[in-house]
Amino acid sequence: MEAGKGEQWLIDFTNAYREVSPDTIFAHAPQAPYFSATFYKNGGYNTVDQSVGQHIDFYFVQYYNQGNTKYDSYTELFTKTTQGTFPGTSVK
C-alpha cells in the first residue's frame, strides 16, 4: 500500500475470489493502520472496503507489531486515540 498498488491488488483478489467461491465466509485481517487513509495515497483499506466491502464478511483487525504504537490496555485500544507511529488508529 505504501507503493500505491496494494489497494487495487486486494480489490482484484477479492473480486476474483468471490467469482470462484461465492458462498463461503471470506475475511480479511489487516493491521489497524491500513484503515488510516492519511498514511496511504490511495486510501488504504478504506478504498478496499468502499470498493469490495460487500464481499468481505469479517475484518479481523490486528493490533500488534505496530512499531512504537501500543495497544496494550483497554484504554489504548478502545477509548483513546493511540499515539506513536500510527496515531488515530485505535478503535475509537
User: In the block, which residue shows the cell 486515540?
Assistant: 81
pLDDT in tens, 44-80: 999 999 999 999 999 998 887 776 667 777 887 887 7
Phi, psi of 55 (to 5 degrees): -95, -5
Beta bridge partners of residue 4, listed in sequence order: none
Q: Please, are residues 59 and 28 in contact by the beta-carbon 8 Å criterion? A: yes
Q: Give residue 82's pLDDT.
A: 64
In a domain, 19, yes or no: yes
Alpha-carbon distance of 78 to 49, in angstroms, equals: 21
Alpha-carbon distance of 14 to 58, in angstroms, equals: 13
In a domain, 75, yes or no: no
Residue 83 has pLDDT above 80, yes or no: no
In a domain, 53, yes or no: yes
Count how many domains the chain has.
Answer: 1
Give the percent of the chain with pLDDT over 70: 90
In a domain, 77, yes or no: no
- Write the DSSP symbol of residue 81: P
Residue 32 has pLDDT above 90, yes or no: no
Question: Is the pTM here over 0.85, yes or no?
Answer: no
In a domain, 70, yes or no: no
Range of the domain at 51: 6-61
